[in-house]
A and B are shown apart, each in its own frame.
Chain A
Amino acid sequence: MEHRIGVFVCHCGSNIAGVVDVKRVAEQLADYPGVAYSTDYLYMCSDPGQNMVKDAIKKHSLTGVVVSACSPTLHEATFRRAGAASDLNQYRVEMANIREHCSWVHRGDKEKATEKAIKIIKTMIEKVKQNEALEPISVPMTHRALVVGGGIAGIQAALDIANAGHDVVLVEKSPSVGGHMAQLSETFPTLDCSQCILTPKMVEVSQHPRIRLLTYCEIDDVSGYVGNFKVRIRKKAAYVNRDVCNGCGLCVEKCPRTVASEFEEGLATRKAIYTPFAQAVPNKPVLDRDNCTYFESGKCGICQKICPVNAVDYEQKDEFIEEEVGAIVVATGFDLYPVVNIGEYGGGSIEDVVTSLQFERLLSASGPTGGEVRRPSDGKIPKEVVFLTCVGSRDPENHVSYCSKVCCMYLTKHAMLYKHNVHDGQAYVFYMDVRTGGKGYEEFYQRATEEDDVLYLRGKVSKLFEEDGKVMVWGVDTLTGRKVEIAADLVVLGLAMVPNSTAVELSKKLKIQVSEWGFYSEAHPKLRPVESLAPGFYLAGAAQGPKDIPDAVAQASASASKVCALFSEKEYHREPIVAWIDEDECSGCKVCISVCPYDAIEFDSEKGISRIQEAICEGCGACIAACPSATIQQRNLTDSQLYKMVSAALED
């Protein structure tokens, strides 16, 4: 077949053209064997740029196209569509990555960058020459979604998907849905009560006919691929038969053991058998085995004796639930940066230095102080309260480098609510910058300074320590250049948001990428912000990066709409870049079967050969490298193609 390849070199404004001599690249490649047409353009991905590709395919009867621009993760799909629009099989369109892998990383040497760009493009020309015309592989799809995490993001995603008519399995590791939002007092910038807007959604998610709610459950294992995941869920032993339990609460009332309450952030206690909070959904207790007298000594057993419906079962074991789903939304949320790491602020040893979540509980009407701000050490109403932003955040040397985004706003809210609570009190906020990006946020901050007299001091606090029943705050006001010393009654730390402690472990089970700090990575920071790079996984809420409630909800709905778009087709169309076996050459040694991670290869004992099931093959290529007779090849990435690409890259 005569090759007629079209090469389209993108300037990407000055992103590429500022470093790579695009004219020279296009001219030089016009003479490369098999190239029928070569040109350059300011923005290939723009409408005129795409039309240029479409027109050239027809005008020059192109058999393949190499768009030399950005990473294939960005615009491969764009140009494949453009090719298809001109009746060129989409798999005959390839991207040569001369931006991320060349112009952006070799700005210092334009000559070498230009040479490298030419080499990169040559490799892709060689690849395209041997690309087959392929069609996507259609496989059946399970129209049911899994949502991991029952905070506000997970709840929203589950409701949106379910309301669009698809079944949802919602898995939450703690005994109740609600997440951190259930702990909050009032929310900025409107000051509506967090529980009032959240609890109806919690109830809805538990009663929705299309949602299977699995609380006190964890993801044990995930296998399969987009459209056809198999999920094993560990249902942790609650030692309470929650189907039988009627939620009367007698066992909780009579349990003699008390431990620090996680929901109250250690400011109050709960029982060993407990529901985390009054509005918990489901409102049925679980038994905390590690703190139970019965499990420690075999004595007690009061909860079992008193239960009117015999729901307490000490013999209960972890159970496993198998679910098949087509898409997975990950919404595992955040934790606060551990306060023990902040030695200069006492590392958690000073009682009247509280975390931001603890202060939420002190403000909450359902909290341990009934909504009156009282400090933990002696229950007195604090008259001088100091709020610290960026505790751990924006400190690359010692803690985390990023901005946690929500602390400026919630500390402003804290200071404001404190002032509403304690009229004669004084609130101070030490800040690095006050970041109020968001609708109504700046106005909210102005209100705090003007109407509530919150005093903002620009500077870091170097040390907190106890002295005479006060918390001494040593800080600096960098605007006046003065050292500031405050004898505070209470200090609130705006600790950095970090990924939920389970996030990294879960990412390994799901095989999806996390970024440097453990937040899940999106496929593209701007254009694909709610998808993971691994197909079939979608991200929602603070699991992807620090976020406030509106952003988390928006991202959850976006994830849900992506899931619905996936489910809008009956079948899932997969990339046909799979392996195939030349039946004439196969000796039937079965080495390939042993290395295939997906059991995609079956053995035809009649013919004595192996055969790949395209619907299951993921295209990893393990079998190809293992095949001793080079009988297996990968579609559109054959050994022959790889050899030619290597040669092209090394040609002078």
Chain B
Amino acid sequence: MKIPYYPGCTLHERALDFDKASRECANVLGVELEELPVWTCCGAVFPLTTDSVMEILAAVRNLAYASRMGDKVVTLCSFCYNVLKRTNKVMREDGERREKVNLFLRADTETRDKIESFLKEDYVGQVDVLHYIEMLRDVVGFDKMAKHVKTRLEGLRVAPYYGCMLLRPHGEMKFDEHPEQPTIFEDFLTALGCDVVDFPMKTECCGGFQIVRDEETAIACSQTVVASAVKRDADLIITTCPLCLYNLDRKQKEMEKRVSGFRKIPVIYFTQLLGIALGIDDEHLDFSDNYVDPRPALAEKNLV
């Protein structure tokens, strides 16, 4: 089964490990992530102005490319997912902006040829934007995924960190049934055999890109999240967002300096954890970029 895949910039640069692990896991599960042949940045932040269309053009263009390849597009980064999904909603529901955006798409000389060659009709939200974890649940099925598991992660205490961008605003994202008590990652972890560590900070902000402007505030946020998982004896934290990983993992170096008796905890992408369960080679699961090496924690449970 082929599914159109939008990796986004970060997965081609800083988070190559995330991209690699996710593709490998999909292969094992019988899904080929078919990367869009042409794509651009999603825009990174969903614009809140409603009287302008320029800021969503990039995202719509990507969606329009995807609509040529199928009725879905899968993505991994929480920011990309947030932007694409909310933009898609605008294209489905806001007639005025939809019309303007399509006008621009057709007028844009750079892309006109490419678009007109396949875009027989306007882009009106034809594709469904799926997060990879939603693909696992709804396309593959957690039960079917569990059948591919070679090493059940018994005894491994994993804290699933959602962050904000997957869940909010709930009215537009509709990512899980309840934005305050999501369970999709818990269900995913249970299917892999892990002990799920439910921690109250799982939906709190990691500090986001405040890390470049106001490091103190951002680290205070990420430290709250890390400490909450550590306190509940988690062995590791999983995440789905390269920025969350940066704030939660790499900034533990700063946390160590600031907090006496700070206990480190590895933070990895959820598809890296899935890769371990599916028995994917270490070479495909690259942990070299992590500040806190997850391998000792995994070795303790005989998982590497």
CB distance from A351 to the nearest CB of B (A): 14
Indicate if B178 sits at the interface (CB-CB under 8 A).
yes
Return B283 CB to nearest CB of chain A, in Å: 40
User: Which among A343, A397, A467, A472 is the interface contact of B181 at CB below 8 angstroms?
Assistant: A343
Contact B178 A343 (CB under 8 A): yes
Q: B296 on the interface (CB 8 Å rule)?
A: no
Q: What size tier do the contact residues of chain A reach? A: under 10
**Contact of B95 with A by CB under 8 A:** no
Q: How far is the CA of A347 from the CA of B178 in the complex (A)?
A: 10
Closest to A465 in B: B200
CB proximity of A564 to chain B, nearest CB, Å = 49
Nearest to A342 among chain B residues (CB) is B180
Measured between alpha carbons, how far is A472 from B231 in the docked complex, in Å?
Answer: 15
Is A551 in the interface zone, CB < 8 Å from B? no
CA distance A347 to B180 in the complex (A): 9
* Chain B residue at minimal CB-CB distance from A464: B200
CA distance A467 to B179 in the complex (A): 21
B162-181: CB near A (< 8 Å → 1, else 0) gives: 00000000010000001111
Given the complex, which residues of B lie within 8 Å of A347, measured CB to CB?
A: 178, 180-181
- The docked-state distance in angstroms from the alpha carbon of A472 to that of B228 is 12
* Interface residue A463 (Cβ < 8 Å from any Cβ of B): yes
Query: In the assembly, what is the distance between CA of A463 and CA of B205, in Å?
Result: 13
Residues of B within 8 A of A463 (CB): 180, 200
Q: Are A467 and B200 in contact (CB under 8 A)?
A: yes
Residue A585 lies at the interface, judged by CB distance under 8 Å to chain B: no
CB of A466 within 8 Å of the partner chain: yes
Q: In the complex, what's the smallest C-beta–C-beta distance from A223 to chain B, in angstroms? A: 41
Chain B contacts of A343 at CB under 8 A? 178-181
Interface residues of B in 268-291 (CB under 8 A from A): none
In the complex, which residues of chain A have a beta carbon less than 8 angstroms from the beta carbon of B200?
Answer: 463, 465-467, 472
Residues of A within 8 A of B181 (CB): 343-344, 347
A-B contact count (CB 8 A): 17
The CA of A463 and the CA of B202, in the complex, are separated in Å by 12
Q: Provide the bound-state CA to CA distance between A227 and B21, in Å.
A: 75
Nearest CB on A from B176, distance (A): 10
Residue of A nearest to B171 (CB): A397
- How does the 8 Å CB contact mask read for B118-141 relative to A, with 1 for contact and 0 for none? 000000000000000000000000
Closest to B180 in A: A343
Alpha-carbon separation in the docked complex, A465 to B181 (Å): 11
What separation, in Å, do the CA atoms of A467 and B171 have in the docked complex?
30
Residues of chain B contacted by A397 (CB below 8 angstroms): 171
| A 293-351 contacts with B by CB, 8 A | 343-344, 347
Specify which chain B residues have a CB less than 8 angstroms from the CB of A467 in the assembled complex: 200, 231
B 168-203 contacts with A by CB, 8 A: 171, 178-181, 200
Chain A residues near B171: list those with CB within 8 A.
397
CB distance from A648 to the nearest CB of B (A): 39
A347 to B200 CA separation, bound complex (whole angstroms): 13
In the complex, chain B residues whose CB is within 8 Å of the CB of A472:
200
Q: How far is the CA of A472 from the CA of B227 in the complex (A)?
A: 15
- The distance from the CB of A398 to the nearest CB of chain B, in whole angstroms, is 9
Q: Which residue of A lies closest to B200 (CB)?
A: A465
In angstroms, Cα B170 to Cα A397, docked, is 11
Interface string of B200-217 (1 = CB under 8 A from A): 100000000000000000
**Complex CA–CA separation, A344 to B200 (angstroms):** 10
Taking CB atoms and an 8 Å cut-off, the chain B residues in 212-244 that contact chain A are 231
Task: List chain B residues, Cβ under 8 A from A466.
Answer: 200
A209 to B50, CA, bound (A): 70
Q: Which residue of A lies closest to B204 (CB)?
A: A463
Which B residues between 240 and 282 are near A, CB-CB below 8 angstroms? none
Cβ-closest chain B residue relative to A397: B171
Bound-complex Cα distance A463 to B179 (A): 12
Q: How far is the CB of A337 from chain B (nearest CB, A)?
A: 15
Residues of A within 8 A of B180 (CB): 343-344, 347, 463
B231 surroundings in chain A (CB, below 8 A) = 467
With both chains docked as a complex, state the minimum distance between the C-beta of B27 and any C-beta of chain A, in angstroms. Answer: 36
Q: Roughly how many angstroms separate A347 CA and B183 CA in the complex, as a whole number?
A: 13
Contact pattern, A 453-473, Cβ under 8 Å of B = 1, otherwise 0 = 000000000010111000010
Q: Which residue of A lies closest to B231 (CB)?
A: A467
A483 to chain B, nearest CB (A): 12
Residue of B nearest to A345 (CB): B180
Rounded to whole angstroms, the CA-CA distance of A228 and B256 in the bound complex is 81
Cα–Cα distance between A465 and B228 once the two chains are bound (Å): 11
Bound Cα distance A465, B231 (Å): 14
How distant is B83 from chain A, measured CB to nearest CB, in Å? 23
Q: How far is the CB of B128 from chain A (nearest CB, A)?
A: 24
Q: Give the shortest distance, in Å, between B214 (CB) and chain A (any CB).
A: 17
A472, B199: Cα distance in complex, Å: 13
A149 to B171, CA, bound (A): 38
Closest residue on chain A to residue B178 by CB atoms: A343
Those of A450-501 within 8 Å (CB) of chain B: 463, 465-467, 472
Q: Give the complex CA separation of A218 and B180 in angstroms.
A: 38
Annotate A216-246 by CB proximity to B: 1 below 8 A, 0 otherwise: 0000000000000000000000000000000
Q: Which of B171, B200, B231 has the most CB of A within 10 A?
A: B200
CB-CB contacts below 8 Å: A58-82 with B = none
> What residues on B are CB-neighbors of A344 within 8 Å?
180-181
- Kindly provide the distance from the CB of A213 to the nearest chain B CB, expressed in whole angstroms: 43
A470 to B: closest C-beta gap in Å: 12
How long is the Cα–Cα vector from A347 to B179 in the complex, in angstroms?
Answer: 12
Q: Which residue of B lies closest to A463 (CB)?
A: B200
Residue ID in chain A nearest B228 by CB atoms: A467
Question: Which of B171, B179, B181, B231 has the most chain A CB within a 10 Å cutoff?
Answer: B181
Please, how many angstroms separate the alpha-carbon atoms of A467 and B200 in the complex?
Answer: 9
- Nearest chain A CB to B41's CB is how many angstroms away? 32
Q: Which residues of A contact B179 (CB under 8 A)?
A: 343
Question: In the complex, which residue of chain B has the Cβ closest to the Cβ of A341?
Answer: B178
Complex Cα distance, B178 from A467, in Å, reads: 22
Among residues of A, the one whose C-beta sits closest to the C-beta of B179 is A343
| A347 CA / B181 CA spacing, docked (Å) | 8
In the assembly, what is the distance between CA of A466 and CA of B201, in Å?
Answer: 11
Binding site for A on B (CB under 8 A): 171, 178-181, 200, 231
A-B contacts, 17 listed (Cβ < 8 Å): A343-B178, A343-B179, A343-B180, A343-B181, A344-B180, A344-B181, A347-B178, A347-B180, A347-B181, A397-B171, A463-B180, A463-B200, A465-B200, A466-B200, A467-B200, A467-B231, A472-B200
* Partner-B contacts on A (CB < 8 A): 343-344, 347, 397, 463, 465-467, 472
The 6 A-B pairs with the shortest beta carbon distances in the complex, nearest first, are A465-B200, A343-B180, A343-B181, A344-B180, A343-B178, A347-B181
- Extra pairs beyond A343-B181, A467-B200 (6, CB < 8 Å): A344-B180, A344-B181, A347-B178, A347-B181, A397-B171, A467-B231
